Amino acid sequence: MKGYLWSATPGPGGAPLAHLARWETVAVDAVGNVIEFWGFKRNQGRVWAFLYLRDAAFTAAEIEKELELSKGGVSMLVRDLERWGVIVRVRSPGDASWRYRAETDLMKMARQVIEEREFAFIARIRLDLDEALRLAESARANKESIRRLKRMGQLAEATERALKLFLRTSQLDVKGMFGVFAARS
């Protein structure tokens, strides 16, 4: 007695028949796309966007139905979002199930994970390049090769610096929401 009405026919045109308003679907998917761009799962973004837009607490079953996800999927998605602190889990008094509510801006999640995951990644690359340099020197590689190796290291360094700046900026952007940057391009 679950949501068979909903999961029954996705339809040939691919049009979802969940009862989200059209504008909600569009917005929710757009957020899914942004967040995917930042290296997260599209559906993490969709779940957060749904909760954020509705500005209310929903059960996993409701999320499952509205966004046409699987039970297991919702369980994992809300766990991730909760761990990152962008949604909270609340238990209503007379209710048998947990409800979820959007808490903070999604950017928080992006910053957090980028800090952990991406910096570790770049650090690893720099270590590799350092090792290559040491090996090259002890192998008496020619001068030009060593010069170029160093240059490669700087490529990674530039990446890391850019990433840091990027994080710092995104933080400022969200805080100082209105102002400064005029619509360009």
> Which residues contact DNA (rule: CB under 7 A)?
1, 7, 41-43, 59-61, 68-73, 75-76, 78-79, 91, 94-98
* CB atoms closer than 10 angstroms to residue 183: 4
DSSP code, position 182 = -
Of these partners, DNA, its own copies, none, which one is at the site of residue 122 (CB under 5 to 8 Å by kind)? its own copies
Backbone φ and ψ for 75, nearest 5 degrees, come out as -55, -45
User: What is the rounded CA–CA span in Å between residue 34 and residue 40?
Assistant: 9
Of these partners, its own copies, DNA, none, which one is at the site of residue 34 (CB under 5 to 8 Å by kind)? its own copies
User: Measured from the CB of residue 184, what is the shortest distance to DNA in angstroms?
Assistant: 30
User: What is the rounded CA–CA span in Å between residue 101 and residue 86?
Assistant: 9
- The residue ranges that bind its own copies (CB under 8 A) are 21-24, 26-27, 29-31, 33-34, 37-38, 49, 52-55, 105-107, 118, 121-122, 124-125, 128-129, 131-136, 139, 141, 144-145, 148-149, 151-152, 154-159, 161-162, 165-166, 169-170, 173-174, 177-178, 181
Of these partners, DNA, its own copies, none, which one is at the site of residue 117 (CB under 5 to 8 Å by kind)? none
Helix count and strand count (H, E) for the chain: 8, 3
The closest alpha carbon to 89, from 122, 120, 51, belongs to: 51
